[in-house]
C-alpha cells in the first residue's frame, strides 16, 4: 500500500513531470501526531500552486521547461556585486554574506570573476575585518561568527594571494577563543547567543585557515551531539526542535572534527529523508512546515555527509551512484518552481527572488546533479546538458578545488602561537 502524505492525507503521485516514481516508501514512516488546520491549509495552498506549475509544464511539451536560465541569473548576480537597490538596506549587517552568496552562485554557474571585481571584494572585506579578529557585517561593525564564515568563504572562492592575505589568522584564532564556552559551544558574538551555527562557523573558518587546534574545540563535538533530539535531527541547542539549517551545521561541524560517529546516523538519515516533500519534490526545514528552495542545500547537503559517514562504518546497502534522496524530483522543483523569469531564484512560486535563495537553490541543484568524486563521480542532470552546474563541497559549500587551494595555502603557514612572548 502506498504511503500517505501526512501534510494532505493524500497518496503521493506516481509520476510528477519528469516521470520519476515514488521512492519514499523504502523508509519507515514517522508518525505525525497532530497537524494544525492552519498548517494543513497552507500546505494545500502551496500544493495547488505547484500543481498549476506542473500542469503548465505537462501542457507545454517543450523541453525548454527544464532549462536553467543561466544568462538571466548571471546578469542578476553581476549587478548585485556592483549595485544594490535600497530594498537591501535591511542587510547592511550582512554585507559579507552578499559577497559570498553572489560569488558562490557565480562559481556554480562557472562564470569567472573579473580580477578587478575580485580585488574590490578583497579590499571591501578587509574593511569588514575587526581589529579584534573576525569579520563584522560591514566596515566598522562588531565581529560576528556568521559574517566571519561568509567572508572567509568569499575570500577562499577568490583564492588569490591578495584574498588569502586579507585574513589575520592570529587575530581570528584569538577571536574564536574569546567565543568558546566551557561546555564546548561557541557564542555567535561577544555577549551573544549560543547555537549550533556558531560551532559550524568556527570549525569551518578554523579548518580552512589552519587555526584549528584541539584546545579550541575541546568538548565541541560532544556538545553538538547533545543537540540531536528524539526526531533524529539536530536543534539549535540541546532540547530544541530539529531544524534543517541547524542539522546541516551540526553534521558538517562533526565531519570537520572527525566525530560524526557521536550521532545516531540512522535516526538522522530517517529524519532528513522525510523532509523531502512527496508532492513538490523540494525540502522543508522542519516537520509540518512548507517547502522552501533554500533547504535544497541545507537538507539535501546532509545526504553526501551521511553517505560518507555510513560508508566509513561499512554500510554495504549504500548506492555507489546516487544519494539517498530523489535527485530528479529536487532538480524538477528548483527548475520549475524556483526560477524568477527575470533572473535569480526563490523560495517557492509567488515569492520574491533574492541572493540568499539564489545561492542555496543553485547549491542544492549542484548537490542533486553530482554524486561522489573521482572514480565514483556520477552525474544526474535533469533537462538540457547546459543545466549542469559545477560541483560544490558539501561541507563548506564552495567549489572543491577552492577548498583544496585554501587548505594547501594555509597549511604552509604555522598555527599562530597565542602564548605571550617570554620576557628577555
Enumerate the active-site residues: 243, 286, 289, 292, 294-295, 347, 354, 357
What residues contact residue 267 under an 8 Å CB cut-off, 6+ apart? Answer: 228, 231, 232
Q: Give one DSSP letter per residue of 198-260, joined into a string.
A: HHHHHHHHHHHTT---TTTTTTHHHHHHTTB-TTSSB-SSTTSPP-HHHHHHHHHHHHHTT-G
What does the longest C-alpha to C-alpha distance in the chain come to? 82
Beta bridge partners of 276: 283
> Which residues are CB-contacts of 297 (< 8 A; sequence separation ≥ 6)?
248, 360, 361, 363, 364, 367, 397
Which SS3 state, helix, strand or coil, does residue 186 take? strand
Collapsed DSSP state (helix, strand, coil) of residue 143: strand
Q: How many Cβ atoms are within 10 Å of 9's Cβ, its own excluded?
A: 10
- Rounded Cα distance between 30 and 27, Å, is 9
Burial 118-127 (b: 16+ CB within 10 A, else e): beebbebbbe
Task: Give me the residue label for grid cell 545526504.
Answer: 303
β-strand pairing of 378-379 with 370-371: antiparallel
Q: Which residues contact 402 (CB under 8 A, 6 or more apart)?
A: 107, 156, 157, 159, 393
Of 99, 198, 94, 81, the C-alpha closest to 157 is 99
Alpha-carbon distance of 102 to 122, in angstroms, equals: 14
3-state secondary structure 161-182: HHHHHHCCHHHHHHHHHHHECC
Cα 331 to chain centroid distance, Å, stands at 16
- The candidate with the shortest Cα–Cα distance to 283, out of 245, 321, 253, 229, is 245
Cell of 265: 546516523
Amino acid at each position: 500500500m502506498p504511503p500517505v502524505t501526512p501534510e494532505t492525507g493524500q497518496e503521493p503521485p506516481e509520476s510528477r513531470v519528469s516521470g520519476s516514481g515514488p521512492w519514499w516508501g523504502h523508509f519507515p514512516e514517522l508518525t505525525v501526531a497532530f497537524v494544525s488546520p492552519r498548517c494543513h491549509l497552507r500546505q494545500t495552498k502551496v500544493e495547488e500552486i505547484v500543481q498549476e506549475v506542473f500542469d503548465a509544464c505537462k501542457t507545454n511539451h517543450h523541453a525548454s521547461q527544464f532549462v536553467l536560465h543561466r544568462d538571466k541569473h548571471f546578469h542578476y548576480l553581476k549587478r548585485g556585486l556592483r549595485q544594490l537597490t535600497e530594498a537591501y538596506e535591511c542587510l547592511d549587517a550582512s554585507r559579507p554574506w552578499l559577497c559570498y552568496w553572489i560569488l558562490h552562485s557565480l562559481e556554480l554557474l562557472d562564470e569567472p570573476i573579473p580580477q578587478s571585481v575580485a580585488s574590490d571584494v578583497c579590499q571591501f572585506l578587509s574593511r569588514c575585518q575587526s581589529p579584534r579578529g573576525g569579520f563584522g557585517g560591514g566596515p566598522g561593525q562588531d565581529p560576528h561568527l556568521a559574517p566571519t564564515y561568509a567572508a572567509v568563504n568569499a575570500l577562499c572562492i577568490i583564492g588569490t594571494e591578495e584574498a588569502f592575505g586579507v585574513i589575520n589568522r592570529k587575530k581570528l584564532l584569538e577571536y574564536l577563543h574569546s567565543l568558546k564556552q566551557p561546555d564546548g559551544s561557541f557564542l555567535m558574538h561577544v555577549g551573544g547567543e549560543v547555537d549550533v551555527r556558531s560551532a559550524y562557523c568556527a570549525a569551518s573558518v578554523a579548518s580552512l585557515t589552519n587555526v584549528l587546534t584541539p584546545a579550541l574545540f575541546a568538548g565541541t563535538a560532544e556538545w553538538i551531539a547533545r543537540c540531536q533530539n528524539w526526531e533524529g535531527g539536530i536543534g539549535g541547542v540541546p532540547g530544541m526542535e530539529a531544524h534543517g539549517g541547524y542539522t546541516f551545521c551540526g553534521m558538517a561541524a562533526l565531519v570537520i572534527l572527525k566525530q560524526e560517529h557521536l550521532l545516531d546516523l540512522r535516526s538522522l538519515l530517517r529524519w532528513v529523508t522525510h523532509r523531502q516533500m512527496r508532492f513538490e519534490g523540494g525540502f522543508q526545514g522542519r516537520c509540518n512546515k512548507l517547502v522552501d528552495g533554500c533547504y535544497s542545500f541545507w537538507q539535501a547537503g546532509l545526504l553526501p555527509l551521511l553517505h560518507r559517514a555510513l560508508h566509513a562504518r561499512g554500510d554495504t546497502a549504500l548506492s555507489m551512484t546516487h544519494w539517498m534522496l530523489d535527485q530528479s524530483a529536487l532538480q524538477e522543483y528548483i527548475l520549475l518552481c524556483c526560477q524568477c523569469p527575470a533572473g535569480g531564484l526563490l523560495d517557492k512560486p509567488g515569492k520574491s527572488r533574492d541572493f540568499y535563495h539564489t545561492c542555496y537553490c543553485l547549491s542544492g541543484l549542484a548537490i542533486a546533479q553530482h554524486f561522489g568524486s573521482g572514480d565514483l563521480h556520477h552525474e544526474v542532470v535533469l533537462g538540457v546538458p547546459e543545466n549542469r552546474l559545477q560541483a560544490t563541497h558539501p561541507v563548506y559549500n564552495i567549489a572543491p578545488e577552492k577548498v583544496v587551494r585554501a587548505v594547501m595555502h594555509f597549511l604552509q603557514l604555522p598555527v599562530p602561537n597565542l602564548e605571550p612572548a617570554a620576557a628577555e
